[in-house]
Structure 1
């Protein structure tokens, strides 16, 4: 109702469509310091959510073996300088519960990271991850410059060129802190490329399917197709698009990522310890090189050794990550929206008599952003339960991409 009233007021006064960027330029000059303070305040929160929760936690859950060891794992922290055992009060590696993996509990996973290196361990592998992102971006830019209209293939080329960095990042995440630099922990390129090019290709194809499907639904529900960017008609269209996007991601992209991470983890050196239980043999499917085996997991090995209960654990972890992300966004909006409203009320009035409507425009746009975030969280919580569909779709994709994955007749 308020939005319709504002539109009628602007039509009555023959006002052009409001430009949010121009209105924000009318804020006081000192408002940039307020936004800078907000950036400094919320930057650790964004890194914690977008890296630790969305990148590190899923890798630990994907790699962890469901069968807990019969012994209690020892703490990975070094002993005291006097070569004496630590007192009994020293906390050991957290365990979620009897017979339950550590990553089945969000708090236990958090405590596990803290127990393996303190606060810095929360951002474990971040330098390697940033280096991988920079190198991939450079390769993508060079490829797109040399080969026009190759923005889709450039991403694949960059991913294949950085297979060492990607595998090393997974190894850093699942192992205790090491004094070695990340470039000293890069696995051999030849072996890494031979092991990961197929899962990398599958993950790239899954990502393109998700992107194309999302954009297709976006233009389908876009309403006015004459615009360069479709204008969504109502919250229902936004919710429908988010629903399809999250469904595609859960059904296709996440299973492909699971296979990729497990293949990369199989390249971990034999003398490297892990902070979580890790079945290096993948239920006896991997044979060492000394006996004529590959020494790493194939796509079939990584997929077949991941059980239904492990899929449920990944889904539940994704739901918890979405819930934590939504709670953090609510707090951020609760802090920023009143600031913008106050700054807009102190903004420069150019004498056109529309100061109140300008404030209304800013507030309306911010409320639309918060509504979109709420719809995204709701759609994610609904869609993160489609394990059977994800397994069937990924089987279909891999069967077409890799003929060796087609079902075989049982041996007689």
Structure 2
């Protein structure tokens, strides 16, 4: 029906009023001859309002005569009739052409510069820098796209307070996104380095301050490692005086860290059955379009898995394009008893995965197995070398002065 309306508007159609005692006969004669009538409405006891294409208006008079009806043209619609009116109104036609041309021309320009990430003086400085580089309202989109990489590089050189700069075009709007560099807080005037955990000291390298431990010492959390007090000779009196400084250095120790994993002997497992549904869809940014489906979705017990294949990844995460495959697999849950080999393999895999998040490097591994009811317990002790120094407020009592 929509296609018929579009074609009728392009070819032109008319609205007519048909008056007579045998309106049904008129409609039957017209439709049997191949004419297309639509929006047929009765507006009175013996009056119909009908729409038909313009080329069938002359033919319909014969059917009106045979059904003892009269036809009156009510209105003309469609492109041919509108074009005739516009040809007589040349000023309106010229204005319409200029208006459309102006819109097309304006759509090729950047009219708005929108900045996100800077405020105050930094924001004003960024606008000034962009204007010098030609990024301002009125510049063409094509010229800005060709210079996009150069603009991003120059802005990073001109504004050291920006750690990242991005320029994206959205229609007539240029979106400028800036990430401001975070300035670290000023360093404290003086502090100590203390132990953050138990360990056996293997290396002491003092950059600033006074060492309070040596290699081979055993330390506990909170023990002083490097003091923020330096003893210096007074040039006037020749005596040793203590000077507060920010302690700095490396204190490495051999530490032991435990990972505990418990695996149950009894567990529930899903055994796949024949019934399943596979659905493919296309994701563009935040929108998801279904493509096609295979099978029937299970109603009761099922497992769901998703597979994703990225087709395009731009600099903007909102423009990700990927194919997604979702599978709903019918499953039957059964209780199984895991073998000792399976329990040990699963426990070791879990321990190895957790080991990735432990600090330190190298070292040995000690494994201890135990059984607690229906559970297998694994304790893995990792020996590693790590820097255990932590910053702490300066203590009142410094180490003894050297002789």
> TM-score, normalized by length of structure 2?
0.16
From the CA coordinates, give the structure whose radius of gyration is larger. 2
TM-score of the two chains, using structure 1 as the length reference: 0.16
The structure that is strand-richer by fraction is 2
